[in-house]
A and B are shown apart, each in its own frame.
Chain A
Amino acid sequence: MDILKEISVRLQQGDDERVCELTRQAVEKKVPPRAILDEGLIGGMNIIGERYKAHEIFLPQVLLAAKAMYAGTDVLRPLFVKEGMPAIGKVVIGSVQGDLHDIGKNLVGIMLKGAGFEVIDLGNDVPPERFVETAEKEDAAVIGISALLTTTMPVMKRTVDLLEEKGLRTKIRTIIGGAPISEEFAKQIGADAYGYDSTNAVESVKRLIMANESD
């Protein structure tokens, strides 16, 4: 089997040790790192994402595959020191100020990385200023905010408002999610998108980035 195909297959099986080994072998065989990343690792994760969406597999299998993907990217990272790890876009994510719950946000971050995004995770209890400053400094295209309870939802609006004040609303897009969030609430506060779950989040972020590029 072609080594890139084998990386993809082993990744889908969640075999992190074998993915790590195969990635090393591919590097030694002078397979371009970009091809290993796109066709082997991200290619495998894309198949996992599709199978998850089709309910053929469940969250644990997705997360085992994600661990295998991280094992592969760790091998590749030193090869991209100069130009940085290639990514289809940069996303800053975090849980809203006043919220300590980060499992939902973590899952979204893992799926975004799996799809080839660079993710800057600010953790939880993140004030609006930090979201905006980081996105500006890192030249991120999207800010993703998570909330567990309705009581922290107004702080999400402050992040959108802050982007507006700084004239960054069209450059940096916002997506929100979490148990109490709805599409309607996202519209109400002027966020650009709402993500129901982690797969949906990836699709929405891709759409936001495409919309930005065509602007």
Chain B
Amino acid sequence: MRKILEIPLDEARPDQDAILETQGIPSGKELTEDVKALLERAIDLFLEFSKPKVAISDISIPGFEALYKGEGLNEQDTPLDEIITKADDLALFAVTIGERVSEEIDRLFKANEFALGSMLDSVASAGTDKAADTAESRYFDLLSEKGRITSSKGVLRFSPGYCGWHMSGQEKLFEFLRPEDIGISLLESYLMKPLKSISGVLVAGDKDIFVFDDSYPFCSECRSRSCHKRIRTLLKESRSDKKKGVM
């Protein structure tokens, strides 16, 4: 199966806390009127300029194991090494919200509208993450239609550049998935264009296969530590709850 889907904008609209985190504003902090106004305008611009799309393509476990080896540069021991052997199904994915938002951010900075430009950048980054959450939900639904998954199971994503998966993994991922069809290209530096894009693998299986310690040697250099939050969310919510939360 290979699917290209447009993600409805309301499903990519990020939560306020996720946006403010990138602005360095702690969750629960009372916002001043000027910051509230900036946030609202930035969300409007995000809704005006983004076009979230996802490409999803099934891949067999042996197929992924070969792809995951990439250029042989992964860390020696990674969470995915073990998780994929216990997975039921796997799919490669890439999401993007498109180039227009980045162009608008650039324009705002050039016009000295730094606060709005920076806020839009945060909305766009959090929106891309939210679009990747939606890719997980879509994959769950696709598997559910085929009777291959039940609500006691879950889907979690992993990306090159995280958790010991070397960035050079992008090359084989792109060869297989061909996200050029949704407008994403890969530069020599393995950076994706548009900037606001995320690639990786969607892993479906029992929820407990995703429980792992963040004590790998490379975790000490990880700035995001997003595993905690994502695993916690997966363990807490059933898929249908998660979809409700997205609306």
- A in complex with B: yes
Q: Which residues of A contact B (CB under 8 A)?
A: 14, 58-61, 63-64, 66-67, 70-71, 97-103, 106-107, 110, 148-152, 179-180, 182
Bitwise, B29-60 to A at CB < 8 A (1) or not (0) is: 10010110010000000000000000000000
| A98 and B188 in contact, given A58-B24, A60-B119 (Cβ under 8 angstroms) | yes
B113 — which chain A residues lie within 8 A by C-beta? 67
Query: Are the CB atoms of A107 and B167 closer together than 8 Å?
Result: no
Query: Are the CB atoms of B191 and A61 closer together than 8 Å?
Result: no
Query: Are the CB atoms of B221 and A100 closer together than 8 Å?
Result: no
Query: Are the CB atoms of B118 and A59 closer together than 8 Å?
Result: yes
Q: A58-B24, A64-B34 are in contact. List 11 more A-B contacts (CB 8 A).
A: A58-B35, A59-B23, A59-B24, A60-B23, A60-B119, A61-B35, A63-B118, A64-B115, A110-B114, A149-B191, A151-B167
A71 — which chain B residues lie within 8 A by C-beta? 112
Query: Are the CB atoms of A70 and B161 closer together than 8 Å?
Result: no
Offer 20 A-B interface pairs, CB within 8 angstroms, sorted by A: A14-B115, A58-B23, A58-B24, A59-B118, A63-B118, A64-B34, A67-B112, A67-B113, A99-B189, A100-B195, A103-B118, A106-B117, A148-B191, A149-B190, A149-B191, A150-B161, A150-B167, A151-B167, A152-B191, A179-B223
A179 — which chain B residues lie within 8 A by C-beta? 223
| A100 and B193 in contact, given A61-B35, A110-B114 (Cβ under 8 angstroms) | yes
Interface size on B, residues (CB 8 A): 31
Query: Are the CB atoms of B34 and A60 closer together than 8 Å?
Result: yes
CA distance A14 to B168 in the complex (A): 44
Query: Are the CB atoms of A182 and B221 closer together than 8 Å?
Result: yes
Q: Which residues of B contact A (CB under 8 A)?
A: 23-25, 29, 32, 34-35, 38, 105-106, 109, 112-115, 117-119, 121, 161, 167-168, 187-191, 193, 195, 221, 223
- List the A residue with the shortest CB-CB distance to B105: A103
A131 to chain B, nearest CB (A): 16
Interface of B is mostly: loop
B29 — which chain A residues lie within 8 A by C-beta? 58
Contact of B112 among A58, A70, A97, A98 (CB under 8 A): A70
Query: Are the CB atoms of B191 and A60 closer together than 8 Å?
Result: no
- List the B residue with the shortest CB-CB distance to A121: B109
| A99 and B167 in contact, given A58-B24, A59-B23 (Cβ under 8 angstroms) | no
- List the B residue with the shortest CB-CB distance to A98: B189
A64 — which chain B residues lie within 8 A by C-beta? 34, 114-115
Contact of A99 among B25, B168, B191, B223 (CB under 8 A): B191
CA distance A98 to B195 in the complex (A): 12
B141 to chain A, nearest CB (A): 32
Query: Are the CB atoms of B115 and A67 closer together than 8 Å?
Result: yes
